[in-house]
Amino acid sequence: MIKTDKGTYGIDLDHLEEVCKADKPDAVIFVQVLGVPHYKEKLLALKEKYGFCLLEDACASLGAEHSDGSMVGTVGDMSSFSFYFGHQLSTIEGGMVNTDDKELYDILLMLRSHGWAKDLDQEAYDKLIADHNIDDFHRPFTFFIPGFNLRSTDLQAFIGLRQIERAGWVSQRRYENHLRYASNLDGYVEFQNWGEDFPVSISFGALAQSDEHRREIVSRLVENGIETRIYSAGNLGRHPFWVERYGSFEDEMSDNIHTRGFFLPNYPELTLEEVDFICSIVKGLRKK
Ligand SMILES: Cc1ncc(COP(=O)(O)O)c(C=O)c1O
């Protein structure tokens, strides 16, 4: 597990470099946290230096852009997006993986469908069949790798395709709300820093000044019917699934997020006036 960066709240790249030197990982997973892009150039330089496969979790960041104009989801060898309810686009459940590597693409097509090869293009399919010398009768149900059953249904595809038309508007509105939260709450709570990047968040994540301060804010939000929750999962290294296997993971910034973090709502229909109202509740400037 890697420490948390104090700027973007993604992985700490100095710590990643130490881990690369010590453990020589084959693969590194990084998260584009809450629609705030992580340090693309530095990550790619480390990938080049240590030769790991880079997996980009952009699940909650669709539409966000790096300052050079490239979209999140184009940094890793593969990148994932979630279309679970509440994300930038939703098919209720579901998601997608991006890659520009043909070999990985073919593996992904097989992985999502039991490990069979039926979805591959003709050339790749013929090659696998020939390499393994599979006869006509067995071909359709030959499993080349251990796979899952993760295909979207036609209904999910229909719902998702309809939303692509408004994806640009969704990104713009979420960006505007994110900036409005930041300008209202600057100096009162802490939040991610995006520099020249273009953030597109699913929620505005903030850190209260203390555990006690978070309790006060959360109770004001709840009293006013404004939804809130912990910041993502907080420090995953403090959850039972991790602690019971590896012991607890201690890191100042991960623990700050765990003990002081909370979410504020962001969605495209949320107006700037509503963001202002929520911020006045957060700051205790207004009673119910
Ligand atoms: C960073 C990140 N990764 C992965 C996921 C999981 O996505 P899904 O629920 O589609 O499996 C989420 C869900 O919000 C997420 O925020």
For every residue of 95-164, DSSP letters joined together read EEEE---HHHHHHHHHHTBTTB-TTS-HHHHHHHHHHHT--TTTGGG-B-S---B-PPPHHHHHHHHHHH
CA of 40 to the centre of ligand 1 (A): 20
pLDDT of residue 288: 63
**The ligand 1 atom nearest the CA atom of 86:** 14
Q: Are residues 139 and 201 in the same domain?
A: no
35 occurs within a structural domain: yes
pTM for the whole thing? 0.94
Rounded CA Rg of the chain = 22
Distance CA 94, CA 85 (A): 9
Angle subtended at Cα 87 by Cα 278 and Cα 223, rounded to the nearest 5 degrees: 25
Q: Are residues 56 and 159 in the same domain?
A: yes
CA of 209 to the centre of ligand 1 (A): 27
Instruction: Report DSSP state, residue 52.
Output: P
Distance CA 26, CA 178 (A): 35
Q: Are residues 168 and 209 in the same domain?
A: yes
Residue nearest to atom 12 of ligand 1 (CA): 59
Are 79 and 97 in contact by the 8 Å Cβ rule? The answer is: yes
Q: Are residues 104 and 88 in the same domain?
A: no
Tell which one of 29, 59, 91, 150 to mutate to probe ligand 1, the residue whose CB is within 8 A of the most ligand atoms. Answer: 59
Q: Are residues 251 and 113 in the same domain?
A: no
What's at 155, amino acid-wise?
L
Q: Are residues 107 and 230 in the same domain?
A: no
248 occurs within a structural domain: yes
Nearest-10 Cα torsion for 16, 24, 30, 230: -70
How far CA 8 is from CA of 37, 56, 87, 195, 232, in Å, comes to 7, 15, 19, 9, 14
6 occurs within a structural domain: no
Q: Are residues 167 and 221 in the same domain?
A: yes
The full 3-state SS of 231-244, as one line of letters, equals CCCCCHHHCHHHHH
Are 279 and 273 in contact by the 8 Å Cβ rule? The answer is: no
DSSP labels for 145-204? S---B-PPPHHHHHHHHHHHTTHHHHHHHHHHHHHHHHHHHBTTBB----TTSB---SEE
7 occurs within a structural domain: no
Angle between helices 211-223 and 272-282 (to 10 degrees): 130
Residue nearest to atom 11 of ligand 1 (CA): 82
**Domain termination site, one of 151, 168, 186:** 151
Q: Are residues 201 and 266 in the same domain?
A: yes
Q: Are residues 109 and 209 in the same domain?
A: no
The stretches in the chain having pLDDT less than 50 are: none
> How many domains is the chain built from?
2
Residue nearest to atom 3 of ligand 1 (CA): 59
Question: Quick count: other Cβ atoms within 10 Å of Cβ 105?
Answer: 16
Q: Which residues pair with 67 in a beta bridge?
A: none
CA of 60 to the centre of ligand 1 (A): 7
CA of 125 to the centre of ligand 1 (A): 31
DSSP labels for 4-39? BPTTTSSB-HHHHHHHHHHH--SEEEEE-GGG----
Are 25 and 52 in contact by the 8 Å Cβ rule? The answer is: yes
Q: Are residues 170 and 276 in the same domain?
A: yes
Q: Which residues line ligand 1 (CB under 6 A)?
A: 31, 57, 59-60, 82, 84, 95
The full 3-state SS of 197-217, as one line of letters, equals CECCCCEEEEECCCHHHHHHH
**Residue that is written with structure tokens 């301060």 in the block:** 213
1 occurs within a structural domain: no
Q: Are residues 204 and 255 in the same domain?
A: yes
CA of 126 to the centre of ligand 1 (A): 35
Q: Are residues 31 and 123 in the same domain?
A: no
CA of 203 to the centre of ligand 1 (A): 13
CA of 95 to the centre of ligand 1 (A): 9
| CATH number of the domain bearing residue 258 | 3.40.640.10
Residue nearest to atom 14 of ligand 1 (CA): 60
Domain with 123, as residue range(s), is 100-151
pLDDT of residue 286: 78
